[in-house]
Amino acid sequence: MQCPYCGHHDSKVIDSRSASDGIRRRRQCLSCGSRFTTYERVQPASLFVVKKDGRREEFNRDKLLNGIRKACEKRPLPTGSLDKLASDIEAELYQLGKAEVSSRDIGDLVMAGLKNLDHVAYIRFASVYRKFADITALKQEIDTLVNGVGETARPADQLPLFPQPRAPARRQRRHRR
Ligand SMILES: [Zn+2]
């Protein structure tokens, strides 16, 4: 395990504990003494993704994370939240216990995750992934997010998509055309 600070190849484990998705090891570099953490992840039998055109490719977590990162670019999201979303989706996929999943299934999971995380990122991802037919379809999706369908549409810690009007906005927002 290479030290991220000096590149030395030898380190000793100073702490080891199991996390929900693997084992976490606290290490100390034997050269510069820096401390860093490594994660040992359980990798189940390989999972294949069936793409729209029917081709199959092995599931790639980095690819998933890159897609999420792209959608969340420059959004004020907490450190680690994107990585966590990718891990959650990966875990969910493997828990299905199937040898292959469709790229659509993965896209749906990403959409659901982003919807809870950040509405702007969600719309960005959805506009590429779902290829909204036209601007009206896109507007409908945004309206649904802004007006909320049911109370679960916007978690309390969700960043607002648009600046919120001042009080007594709450009553006005419920007002439907
Ligand atoms: Zn070092």
pLDDT score, position 39: 83
Q: What secondary structure, in 3-state letters, does 103-114 show?
A: HHHHHHHHHHHH
Which pair of structure tokens corresponds to residue 17? 């504990």
Residue 42 has pLDDT above 60, yes or no: yes
Ligand 1 centre distance from Cα of residue 15 (Å): 17
Ligand 1 centre distance from Cα of residue 2 (Å): 8
**Nearest in space to 114 (alpha carbons), one of 98, 128, 133, 135:** 128
Residue 33 has pLDDT above 80, yes or no: yes
Q: What is the mean pLDDT of the chain?
A: 82
pLDDT score, position 167: 47
Which residues face 98 on adjacent strands?
Answer: none
Ligand 1 centre distance from Cα of residue 34 (Å): 5
Kindly calculate the radius of gyration of the chain based on its CA atoms and give it in whole angstroms.
21
| 95-118: pLDDT as tens digits | 887 889 999 899 989 999 999 999
Ligand 1 centre distance from Cα of residue 115 (Å): 40
Ligand 1 centre distance from Cα of residue 19 (Å): 25
Ligand 1 centre distance from Cα of residue 22 (Å): 24
Ligand 1 centre distance from Cα of residue 31 (Å): 5
Ligand 1 centre distance from Cα of residue 162 (Å): 46
Which of the pair, 141 or 113, is modelled with greater confidence?
113
DSSP H helix total and E strand total for the chain:
6, 6
CA dihedral 67, 73, 76, 81 (to 10 degrees): 20
CB 94 within 8 A of CB 44: yes
CB 106 within 8 A of CB 89: yes
pLDDT score, position 79: 80
Which of the pair, 29 or 152, is modelled with greater confidence?
29
Which of the pair, 131 or 52, is modelled with greater confidence?
52
Q: How do 56-58 and 48-50 pair as beta strands?
A: antiparallel
Which pair of structure tokens corresponds to residue 154? 């916007």
- The mean pLDDT of 138-161, rounded to a whole number, is 64
Confidence of residue 37 (pLDDT cuts 50, 70, 90): very high
Which pair of structure tokens corresponds to residue 20? 């929900």
Ligand 1 centre distance from Cα of residue 23 (Å): 22
Ligand 1 centre distance from Cα of residue 28 (Å): 8
**Nearest in space to 75 (alpha carbons), one of 142, 161, 176, 146:** 161
